[in-house]
Amino acid sequence: MTPPRFDGYAALLTGAGQGIGAATARRLASEGAAVLVTDLDADRAARTAAAIREAGGTAESLACDVGSREAVEATVAHAVTAFGRLDVLVNNAYANHDDAALFEDEDDDSWAHTLDITLSGPYRCSRAALPHLVDSGRGAIVNIGSVNGEQDFGGHAYSAAKSGLASLTRTLAGHAGPRGVRVNLVAPGTIRTEAWAGRDEALKRASGLYPLGRIGEPEDIASAVAFLASADAAWITGTTLRVDGGLLGVNTGFRKAMRDSA
Protein backbone atom coordinates (compact mmCIF):
# COMPACT_ATOMS: atom_id res chain seq x y z
CA MET A 1 0.00 0.00 0.00
CA THR A 2 1.27 3.47 -0.91
CA PRO A 3 1.94 5.53 2.25
CA PRO A 4 -0.05 8.74 2.75
CA ARG A 5 1.27 11.65 0.71
CA PHE A 6 2.50 13.54 3.79
CA ASP A 7 3.66 10.58 5.85
CA GLY A 8 6.54 11.82 8.03
CA TYR A 9 5.92 15.49 7.18
CA ALA A 10 5.47 18.30 9.69
CA ALA A 11 3.47 21.40 8.74
CA LEU A 12 2.87 24.78 10.34
CA LEU A 13 -0.23 26.73 9.38
CA THR A 14 -1.12 30.29 10.35
CA GLY A 15 -4.66 31.57 10.69
CA ALA A 16 -5.78 27.94 10.91
CA GLY A 17 -8.41 28.19 13.60
CA GLN A 18 -11.24 28.30 11.09
CA GLY A 19 -12.09 28.62 7.40
CA ILE A 20 -9.45 27.90 4.78
CA GLY A 21 -6.71 27.42 7.35
CA ALA A 22 -8.65 24.87 9.36
CA ALA A 23 -9.72 22.96 6.25
CA THR A 24 -6.11 22.86 5.07
CA ALA A 25 -4.88 21.63 8.46
CA ARG A 26 -7.46 18.85 8.36
CA ARG A 27 -6.49 17.91 4.81
CA LEU A 28 -2.75 17.73 5.50
CA ALA A 29 -3.34 15.75 8.69
CA SER A 30 -5.67 13.35 6.90
CA GLU A 31 -2.81 12.59 4.51
CA GLY A 32 -0.34 11.88 7.29
CA ALA A 33 1.21 15.21 8.27
CA ALA A 34 1.75 16.29 11.84
CA VAL A 35 0.33 19.81 11.94
CA LEU A 36 0.82 22.80 14.20
CA VAL A 37 -2.40 24.77 14.05
CA THR A 38 -1.77 28.42 14.90
CA ASP A 39 -4.16 31.33 15.15
CA LEU A 40 -4.35 34.67 16.90
CA ASP A 41 -7.25 33.13 18.83
CA ALA A 42 -5.78 30.32 20.96
CA ASP A 43 -9.16 28.71 21.65
CA ARG A 44 -10.01 28.55 17.98
CA ALA A 45 -6.66 26.91 17.18
CA ALA A 46 -7.14 24.44 20.02
CA ARG A 47 -10.58 23.40 18.74
CA THR A 48 -9.24 22.74 15.26
CA ALA A 49 -6.31 20.70 16.60
CA ALA A 50 -8.62 18.72 18.88
CA ALA A 51 -10.92 17.86 15.98
CA ILE A 52 -7.94 16.62 13.98
CA ARG A 53 -6.79 14.40 16.85
CA GLU A 54 -10.32 13.05 17.29
CA ALA A 55 -10.25 12.07 13.61
CA GLY A 56 -7.03 10.14 14.19
CA GLY A 57 -4.53 12.77 13.06
CA THR A 58 -1.55 14.38 14.76
CA ALA A 59 -1.96 18.01 15.72
CA GLU A 60 -0.90 20.60 18.24
CA SER A 61 -2.09 24.17 18.61
CA LEU A 62 -0.50 27.46 19.56
CA ALA A 63 -1.54 31.09 19.65
CA CYS A 64 0.54 33.14 17.24
CA ASP A 65 0.46 36.79 16.25
CA VAL A 66 2.17 36.98 12.85
CA GLY A 67 2.61 40.70 13.46
CA SER A 68 5.30 39.90 16.05
CA ARG A 69 8.73 38.65 15.01
CA GLU A 70 9.28 37.18 18.48
CA ALA A 71 5.97 35.28 18.39
CA VAL A 72 6.65 33.95 14.90
CA GLU A 73 10.14 32.74 15.77
CA ALA A 74 8.86 31.08 18.94
CA THR A 75 6.11 29.37 16.96
CA VAL A 76 8.52 27.98 14.38
CA ALA A 77 10.81 26.76 17.16
CA HIS A 78 7.82 25.09 18.83
CA ALA A 79 6.95 23.21 15.64
CA VAL A 80 10.50 21.95 15.17
CA THR A 81 10.75 20.90 18.82
CA ALA A 82 7.35 19.17 18.79
CA PHE A 83 7.77 17.31 15.51
CA GLY A 84 11.53 17.17 15.03
CA ARG A 85 11.40 18.87 11.66
CA LEU A 86 9.46 21.31 9.49
CA ASP A 87 8.56 20.51 5.89
CA VAL A 88 5.60 22.74 5.03
CA LEU A 89 4.61 26.30 5.89
CA VAL A 90 1.15 27.55 4.94
CA ASN A 91 0.80 31.33 5.28
CA ASN A 92 -2.93 31.91 5.64
CA ALA A 93 -3.32 34.57 8.36
CA TYR A 94 -4.57 37.92 7.10
CA ALA A 95 -6.24 41.14 8.15
CA ASN A 96 -8.78 43.26 6.29
CA HIS A 97 -10.85 46.36 6.82
CA ASP A 98 -13.72 48.00 5.00
CA ASP A 99 -12.77 50.76 2.57
CA ALA A 100 -13.79 54.29 3.45
CA ALA A 101 -16.46 55.74 1.17
CA LEU A 102 -13.84 58.12 -0.24
CA PHE A 103 -10.23 57.07 -0.71
CA GLU A 104 -9.01 60.34 0.77
CA ASP A 105 -10.70 59.35 4.03
CA GLU A 106 -8.72 56.11 4.35
CA ASP A 107 -7.04 55.66 7.73
CA ASP A 108 -3.27 55.15 8.03
CA ASP A 109 -3.53 52.74 10.96
CA SER A 110 -6.02 50.44 9.22
CA TRP A 111 -3.95 50.45 6.04
CA ALA A 112 -0.76 49.67 7.95
CA HIS A 113 -2.36 46.88 10.00
CA THR A 114 -3.81 45.14 6.94
CA LEU A 115 -0.47 45.21 5.12
CA ASP A 116 1.45 44.19 8.22
CA ILE A 117 -0.57 41.03 8.89
CA THR A 118 -1.40 40.08 5.29
CA LEU A 119 1.98 40.75 3.67
CA SER A 120 4.61 41.22 6.37
CA GLY A 121 3.20 38.29 8.35
CA PRO A 122 4.10 35.75 5.63
CA TYR A 123 7.46 37.50 5.28
CA ARG A 124 8.18 36.99 8.99
CA CYS A 125 6.98 33.39 8.98
CA SER A 126 8.89 32.46 5.84
CA ARG A 127 12.07 34.07 7.16
CA ALA A 128 11.87 32.12 10.41
CA ALA A 129 10.90 28.82 8.77
CA LEU A 130 13.25 28.83 5.79
CA PRO A 131 16.36 27.33 7.44
CA HIS A 132 14.27 24.41 8.71
CA LEU A 133 12.57 23.95 5.36
CA VAL A 134 16.00 23.80 3.75
CA ASP A 135 17.09 21.18 6.28
CA SER A 136 14.05 19.03 5.50
CA GLY A 137 15.21 18.49 1.92
CA ARG A 138 11.63 18.77 0.66
CA GLY A 139 10.49 22.09 2.05
CA ALA A 140 7.52 23.94 0.63
CA ILE A 141 5.85 27.26 1.38
CA VAL A 142 2.29 27.81 0.19
CA ASN A 143 0.95 31.33 0.52
CA ILE A 144 -2.78 32.04 0.46
CA GLY A 145 -3.34 34.98 -1.86
CA SER A 146 -6.54 36.17 -3.48
CA VAL A 147 -8.10 37.08 -6.80
CA ASN A 148 -8.04 40.58 -5.28
CA GLY A 149 -4.32 40.56 -5.94
CA GLU A 150 -4.95 40.30 -9.68
CA GLN A 151 -8.13 42.27 -10.36
CA ASP A 152 -10.31 44.92 -8.73
CA PHE A 153 -12.84 43.47 -6.34
CA GLY A 154 -12.56 46.28 -3.81
CA GLY A 155 -10.41 46.49 -0.71
CA HIS A 156 -7.48 48.85 -1.33
CA ALA A 157 -5.13 47.64 1.40
CA TYR A 158 -6.14 43.96 1.24
CA SER A 159 -5.74 43.87 -2.54
CA ALA A 160 -2.38 45.65 -2.40
CA ALA A 161 -1.17 43.21 0.25
CA LYS A 162 -2.27 40.14 -1.71
CA SER A 163 -0.64 41.50 -4.87
CA GLY A 164 2.53 42.05 -2.88
CA LEU A 165 2.32 38.52 -1.54
CA ALA A 166 2.24 37.16 -5.09
CA SER A 167 5.38 39.15 -5.83
CA LEU A 168 7.08 37.89 -2.65
CA THR A 169 6.16 34.36 -3.71
CA ARG A 170 8.09 34.80 -6.95
CA THR A 171 11.16 36.47 -5.49
CA LEU A 172 11.39 34.01 -2.61
CA ALA A 173 10.98 31.11 -5.03
CA GLY A 174 13.99 32.40 -6.92
CA HIS A 175 16.03 32.63 -3.73
CA ALA A 176 14.89 29.39 -2.13
CA GLY A 177 14.78 27.15 -5.19
CA PRO A 178 18.54 26.47 -5.29
CA ARG A 179 18.27 25.61 -1.59
CA GLY A 180 15.64 22.96 -2.28
CA VAL A 181 12.54 24.85 -1.13
CA ARG A 182 9.54 25.54 -3.35
CA VAL A 183 7.32 28.60 -2.88
CA ASN A 184 3.89 28.93 -4.47
CA LEU A 185 0.64 30.81 -3.98
CA VAL A 186 -3.02 29.82 -4.18
CA ALA A 187 -5.37 32.63 -5.22
CA PRO A 188 -8.93 31.84 -4.07
CA GLY A 189 -12.08 33.45 -5.33
CA THR A 190 -15.09 33.85 -3.04
CA ILE A 191 -14.98 31.13 -0.38
CA ARG A 192 -17.74 30.27 2.07
CA THR A 193 -15.98 31.09 5.34
CA GLU A 194 -16.87 32.77 8.60
CA ALA A 195 -15.98 36.12 7.04
CA TRP A 196 -19.23 35.82 5.07
CA ALA A 197 -21.43 34.87 8.04
CA GLY A 198 -24.90 36.38 7.74
CA ARG A 199 -24.41 37.35 4.10
CA ASP A 200 -26.09 34.41 2.41
CA GLU A 201 -27.88 36.60 -0.14
CA ALA A 202 -24.60 38.21 -1.20
CA LEU A 203 -23.06 34.77 -1.66
CA LYS A 204 -26.06 33.65 -3.68
CA ARG A 205 -25.68 36.65 -5.99
CA ALA A 206 -21.95 36.08 -6.27
CA SER A 207 -22.50 32.48 -7.33
CA GLY A 208 -24.02 33.70 -10.58
CA LEU A 209 -20.76 35.40 -11.54
CA TYR A 210 -18.82 32.15 -11.45
CA PRO A 211 -18.67 30.02 -14.60
CA LEU A 212 -18.91 26.88 -12.46
CA GLY A 213 -22.10 28.22 -10.91
CA ARG A 214 -21.11 28.26 -7.26
CA ILE A 215 -18.80 29.92 -4.80
CA GLY A 216 -15.91 27.96 -3.36
CA GLU A 217 -15.67 25.93 -0.19
CA PRO A 218 -12.64 25.89 2.14
CA GLU A 219 -11.96 22.32 1.06
CA ASP A 220 -11.48 23.49 -2.54
CA ILE A 221 -8.54 25.59 -1.40
CA ALA A 222 -7.22 22.90 0.94
CA SER A 223 -6.98 20.49 -1.99
CA ALA A 224 -4.91 22.97 -3.99
CA VAL A 225 -2.62 23.70 -1.06
CA ALA A 226 -2.08 19.99 -0.46
CA PHE A 227 -1.09 19.53 -4.10
CA LEU A 228 1.40 22.40 -4.09
CA ALA A 229 2.89 21.28 -0.77
CA SER A 230 3.35 17.71 -1.92
CA ALA A 231 5.89 15.90 -4.06
CA ASP A 232 3.23 15.83 -6.80
CA ALA A 233 4.23 19.47 -7.41
CA ALA A 234 7.97 18.78 -7.18
CA TRP A 235 8.73 20.80 -10.33
CA ILE A 236 6.44 23.75 -9.58
CA THR A 237 7.68 26.89 -7.87
CA GLY A 238 7.06 30.63 -8.10
CA THR A 239 3.57 30.14 -9.49
CA THR A 240 0.13 31.50 -8.66
CA LEU A 241 -2.57 28.85 -8.87
CA ARG A 242 -6.00 30.39 -9.28
CA VAL A 243 -8.70 28.41 -7.52
CA ASP A 244 -11.56 30.70 -8.43
CA GLY A 245 -14.24 28.74 -10.28
CA GLY A 246 -13.17 30.47 -13.50
CA LEU A 247 -13.89 33.98 -12.23
CA LEU A 248 -10.77 35.64 -13.64
CA GLY A 249 -10.72 33.64 -16.84
CA VAL A 250 -14.34 34.07 -17.94
CA ASN A 251 -16.36 37.29 -17.70
CA THR A 252 -19.70 35.69 -16.86
CA GLY A 253 -21.39 39.01 -16.07
CA PHE A 254 -20.45 40.48 -19.44
CA ARG A 255 -21.52 37.34 -21.31
CA LYS A 256 -24.89 37.40 -19.56
CA ALA A 257 -25.35 41.10 -20.33
CA MET A 258 -24.69 40.43 -24.02
CA ARG A 259 -27.14 37.53 -24.09
CA ASP A 260 -29.83 39.57 -22.33
CA SER A 261 -29.38 42.44 -24.78
CA ALA A 262 -29.57 40.24 -27.90
Catalytic residues: 158
Within 10 Å of residue 108's Cβ, how many Cβ atoms? 7
CB-based contacts of 86: which residues, under 8 Å, 6+ apart? Answer: 10, 11, 12, 76, 79, 80, 129, 132, 133, 136, 139
**146 close to 195: Cβ distance less than 8 angstroms:** no
3-state secondary structure of 78: helix
Between the alpha carbon of residue 240 and those of residues 7, 8, 218, 233, the distances in Å are: 26, 27, 18, 13
Among 11, 43, 42, which Cα is nearest to 27's?
11
Alpha-carbon distance of 232 to 78, in angstroms, equals: 28
Alpha-carbon distance of 138 to 88, in angstroms, equals: 8
